[in-house]
Structure 1
Amino acid sequence: MKLLEVDARKQSCISEEQAQFFLDNGFLVIRNALGEEELQLIREEMMVLLEKGAAGVEGDADFMYGKGGKTGAKVLKRIEYVIDKSDAMKRLLGHPFILRSVEKLQGSALIPTWDSMVVKMPDEGIIVPWHRDGTRPEPEGSYDPRPIFNVDFYLDEADLSNCLWVIPGSNLWSTERAKERYSREGFDTSDAIPVPMNPGDVIFHDIMVLHGSPAGDGNALRRTVYYEFRPADLEAKYGPHNEAYIRLKQQLLLACIERRKSASYGTEETQFEYRPDGAFAINDIQQPETYRYAHEDFAR
């Protein structure tokens, strides 16, 4: 199939057609989401974290390691809670095009949940087998039509040696069909498509879509930072987090939107207005005490 590509410089939000493509296929490519200044700031701050992690961090579960795809050595693969560790990542969460697009797909009471950086180290890219990022919280067969999804910002080029592969439409598959597919031996791409990306591009991908990437051998560095978003009412009803978490993450989102306004690249933007209604309306704005809300501390 042909990729549907959105140019963030030419519109303020994804269109209805683009939203439907995402719902049908489980992913959507957005080009040019980040300008040069913002991209460079994020790259610099994430490189500091990467170098810290690559040197080896003991006793900090936020830094995660795997077996290198070429030598089998211990290699950095992921860093959790990057909003807490980076001012540029706080401002990035307030990105108006992204938030307006998430709102179109989820409604006004959206909340950010996970935030991480995923790394393929040079020449040692760890294989990411076919998988779903999670499961829907509702009973299967009664899924809410609003997607739960990740927003992946690419800080480096992703070519055929290290890019994401996606199986279009697998977000709509049953658990049994998905399990059969990701249980196959090897990294079979016969029913998948590659998604090459440039620095500053973004992928929306549904947590239910099957995706992965092969091991690297000669691959360049690839860093991707991502946020997951969920509708607050689904989170309140099914979890995995409790309602206290929802309220805290709403305040965190508001604080990040405010931080973006003071950035040089934010002053020329039409900022997103976060106005959740109903049970999740915000009546009292409070500055977050922290930007790291550990998932296990707020489990239902």
Structure 2
Amino acid sequence: MTTMTTIHPTAYHLSAEQIQFFDENGYLVLRQWIPQDLLKRLQDSGTYWINQGNTIAESDPLYEDYMFARRAHGRVMFRVNYLHNKGQDSSLELLGSPYVLGVAESLCGANFVPTYESMVFKEKGDGEAIPWHQDAVHPRKHRIFNFDLYLDTSRSDAGALHVLPKTQHERQDLCALTNRWGWNPPEAVVVEMEPGDVLLHDVMIVHGSEQVEGKDLRRTIYYEFRAAEEILEDGPWDQEWIERRLRLLPPALRHFAAANPDVTQFQWNVTPEFQPESSENEEVALKVAHINHLAGSYCSSLPTANDAKNSKKS
């Protein structure tokens, strides 16, 4: 596992004990991590993004950023990608906050890179399963993790996330796991969450959510982070792509500072070789397409496996 650059901890950097738990188990829950005022802005933004996606014309350039699944009763939207150019400042405010960046620096070091940003959700009444899967498989010389902010309550009887602790160390045989245990492996943990809670999960931990009768709306914002050094070693991107993604950080920090002038700001400690050139055009920085991805792991024999493949994170 990667060595850490020396940092000066704040209230939102992880403790040594929290990092140890994350490394051993592949996940960590941070209760009520996001302040209520910012949470409310994000909840409102989540409603906006869903309404936007359900009404956007297929000819609109943003249409490709909304993902839909085929259910027995028709098409259902389940994911919004590239949140920062969708007309809501709250996503950049969240990214530029010490609540997110303190965690990113704790787990990825000073040269953390925000690699993905999306909102994944289940519409009210949509209880479809997301099969056991691993988001991305990599050589594990560095940490790659997701910061999962829950905008809504998630309960065990309403499709809450299931995780299998300690499965992050290697690619898992998910067909064998499913055939033997279904949703009830003896080590499985059902992660119940409240609005404002954050789940940190290693991209290789096995996780998913079982099918339930349709329940209330459940929305989760996902920010993935990797060390710049990891990207250069493992791909699938290059130095130019890293620089373009890092250009998100200055506007994000500005948005958080403008909305929260009385809160201690995050001090960005990126090293000189990864310091991005400043850009006057914020709009260009807000969406940097991925094109290539590290492959995940899922069971292709399951009837709903395409949902897991396409959604990447549950």
User: Paired residue for 2:122?
Assistant: 120
Following superposition, the deviation at residue 235 of structure 1 comes to 0.7
Aligned counterparts, 1:76-87, within 5 A: 76-85=77-86, 86-87=88-89
SS of aligned partner of 2:200: strand
> In the alignment, is the contact (CA less than 8 A) between 2:132 and 2:174 conserved in 1?
no
- Whether 1:67 and 2:63 are equivalent positions in the alignment is no
Amino acid across the alignment from 2:31: R
Following superposition, the deviation at residue 238 of structure 1 comes to 2.0
Cα deviation, 1:202-243, whole Å, max 9, x if unaligned, reads 111010000001123131100011110000011122211221
> In the alignment, is the contact (CA less than 8 A) between 1:77 and 1:126 conserved in 2?
no
Aligned counterparts, 1:154-193, within 5 A: 154-160=150-156, 161-172=158-169, 174-177=170-173, 180-181=176-177, 186-193=182-189
- Whether 1:234 and 2:230 are equivalent positions in the alignment is yes
Q: Using the TM superposition, name which of 85-94 and 56-65 deviates more.
A: 56-65
Cα deviation, 1:122-178, whole Å, max 9, x if unaligned, reads 121321100001111x3xxxx31x310110111111111121110011112x32555
SS of aligned partner of 1:28: strand
User: Paired residue for 1:4?
Assistant: none
> In the alignment, is the contact (CA less than 8 A) between 2:13 and 2:105 conserved in 1?
no
Following superposition, the deviation at residue 184 of structure 1 comes to 5.5
Q: Percent identity?
A: 32
SS of aligned partner of 1:175: coil
> In the alignment, is the contact (CA less than 8 A) between 1:124 and 1:219 conserved in 2?
yes
Aligned counterparts, 1:145-160, within 5 A: 146-160=142-156
User: Paired residue for 2:204?
Assistant: 208
> In the alignment, is the contact (CA less than 8 A) between 2:149 and 2:197 conserved in 1?
yes
Name the count of aligned residue pairs: 278
Aligned counterparts of 1:121 and 1:189: Cα–Cα separation in 2: 27
SS of aligned partner of 1:267: coil
The TM-score normalised by the length of structure 2 is: 0.82
Residue from 276, 279, 282 that aligns with 1:286: 279
- Flag structure 2 segments of 5+ consecutive residues without an equivalent: 1-9, 295-314
User: Paired residue for 2:14?
Assistant: 14
Amino acid across the alignment from 1:275: N
Amino acid across the alignment from 1:292: K
Aligned counterparts of 1:79 and 1:30: Cα–Cα separation in 2: 24
User: Paired residue for 2:249?
Assistant: 253
- Whether 1:273 and 2:267 are equivalent positions in the alignment is yes
SS of aligned partner of 1:21: helix
> In the alignment, is the contact (CA less than 8 A) between 1:84 and 1:290 conserved in 2?
no
Going from structure 1 to structure 2, the CA distance change for 1:246 and 1:216 (only over 3 Å counts) comes to: same
Aligned counterparts of 1:273 and 1:179: Cα–Cα separation in 2: 45
Going from structure 1 to structure 2, the CA distance change for 1:258 and 1:183 (only over 3 Å counts) comes to: farther
The alignment's C-alpha RMSD in Å is 2.3
Going from structure 1 to structure 2, the CA distance change for 1:183 and 1:295 (only over 3 Å counts) comes to: farther
Going from structure 1 to structure 2, the CA distance change for 1:171 and 1:178 (only over 3 Å counts) comes to: farther
Amino acid across the alignment from 2:263: E
Going from structure 1 to structure 2, the CA distance change for 1:222 and 1:273 (only over 3 Å counts) comes to: same
> In the alignment, is the contact (CA less than 8 A) between 1:124 and 1:215 conserved in 2?
no
- Flag structure 1 segments of 5+ consecutive residues without an equivalent: 1-9
SS of aligned partner of 2:148: strand
